[in-house]
Amino acid sequence: MLKKIAGLCLVLIIATAGAAQAQKTLNINGVIQNLKPTVFGDKSAIMLFLKGRPEIFVVKTADGPKFGLLTPATAAKPDEGKMATELNQAKGWKVRLTVEPPRDPQSKEYRVTALERLPEKK
């Protein structure tokens, strides 16, 4: 009986550790250099590039209004031209991104889960 309980505890510990590892996030500060809308079929996203960083940060179009990048109307019906015009206003913003690292270690695409605009220095 004691061996069964110990085995069950070990399984729970391993499962909990795996879940915690999968939800690891990183905070990255930087200045937005460029934003590129991508629309393919019924899917769309925003590729965000920070000055001096090689990574590509991917924002879901649906999160665009929440982060102040897009209007709700544009996010609801993505159009590359309209998105590009609205995204242009965010160039030069100083931001803090909360991102999930890529599952593939070779990839440079990080999924953005939160974007906070930081105050500009005067």
Tell me: the pLDDT tens digits for 92-119? 999 999 999 998 888 889 999 999 999 9
- Residue 26: the pLDDT is 93
Residues with Cβ < 8 Å from 22, sequence gap 6 or more?
none
Residue ranges with strand state E in 41-82: 43-50, 56-60
- Residue 121: the pLDDT is 72
Report all structural domains of the chain as residue ranges with CATH numbers, in order of start: 25-117 (2.40.50)
**Distance between CA atoms of residues 20 and 6, nearest Å:** 21
**Distance between CA atoms of residues 101 and 65, nearest Å:** 23
